[in-house]
Each structure stands twice: as structure tokens, then as C-alpha cells.
Amino acid sequence: MTKQLLALLLSVVGAALIDCEIGSAQEPDPIRSLPDLGADWEINTDDKKREPEVKLPFRWQVFRNRKTGDLLSFATHPDLGKNRPLESLSDTSLEIFPNGRAVWTQPRGTTSTSVLAIEVVDIGRTNASLKGEKLLEYCFISESPDRENLMAHGRAWVGPNGAVFAQHTSAKPITSDFVDQTIRSIIIDEKKLVPPASR
């Protein structure tokens, strides 16, 4: 992602957080760099201001694919997951983006989730630059009478600046390849930016 687009992303997210009173303006943004998603991905502007139910310092951004309508969602939280097993993020992972968009920006509805898979995976075994890193990998089908069924593949990681969530959501069957590449890129970039003593 270019520096200009990242600056725009951070300013849009910051403005949304101040407007919605979610998050803390003094908290640093836990994702300092997002991967280049390509020209087909644009910031999703469909979400309207809602009355958020959570008063947590989440930061989030959702991208929509112009061609497919798929969503790629990111959220961070500076405190979640620290000094706790990665499994403790299971509920949050499955609930944060039930339809690919942040739950606190959506009206209440009747959505049911069928979990297809959820597990902690050591990703360092297949890539030396990710040695010691683990992910919570999950996949679910989201059903609602108000829309078509959706499939989601997501990943949660706890880094030096808190929890990072990435999720790919689609109305068509998808694999986990795209979200895997995305989260791995974030982890590798974060490891480059963090001094070894603070890891």
C-alpha cells in the first residue's frame, strides 16, 4: 500500500472513530502498514454511522472488491490477546465481522453463524521469516433472511501492538489463500518495524 493511501486510510479511520466515539485518540494504530491490495479493492463507504454498542479502542477498515463485491476487513485492538492464549480471541473473531462489516456499524438483525473450522496454527513451520508466530484461523458461513449467505475466512494474530484481525468475506465459495497472504504480509512488515528487544 502506498504511503499516501495508508495516510488516507488512517485519517478516514481516525475520523470515523472520533465521530462514533469508539476508540481512544491517544492509542497508536496497531497496524502500521497494510499490504497492497491491488486496484480492484477500495475503501468500503457503505457503512453509515450507527450507535455503537462497544466502547473499546477498536480500529477498523473494510475494503470492497469492485469486481466481486467481496469484503476484506481489518480490525485492531491494543489490549486484546496480550498475555492470554490465542484461543481467547475465538468469540471475537467469529463476531466482529458477521457479514464482512464491523458489527457495531450494522443494524441489529437475525444472523446465524455456522462455524466450519477454528484452530490455532503455528505458521512459522512453513516460513522462516514467521518463526514463532501463531494464528487463530477460522472459517464460517453467515446466514440471514435479509441477504444471501456469506462465507468468511479469517485470521487473528497478536503482535507487539495488540490483536490484529483480517477477514475475507464473500457471497461465493472462497479459499483462505487471500486472507493468508494478507495477514502474513502484515506480520512480516510488523516484525521489520519492531526492534528485537520489544518482541
* 38 vs 95: CA distance, rounded Å: 27
Residue 70's pLDDT is 96
Chain mean position to CA 109:
21
Indicate yes or no: pTM above 0.85.
no
Which structural domains are found in the chain, ordered by start? 3-198 (3.40.1000.10)
Q: Tell me how far CA of residue 148 lies from CA of 93, 98, 191, in angstroms.
A: 21, 13, 38
State the pLDDT confidence band at 27, using cuts at 50, 70 and 90. very low
pLDDT, position 14: 37
Instruction: Considering only residues 56 and 103, tell me which one the structure prediction assigns the higher pLDDT.
Output: 103
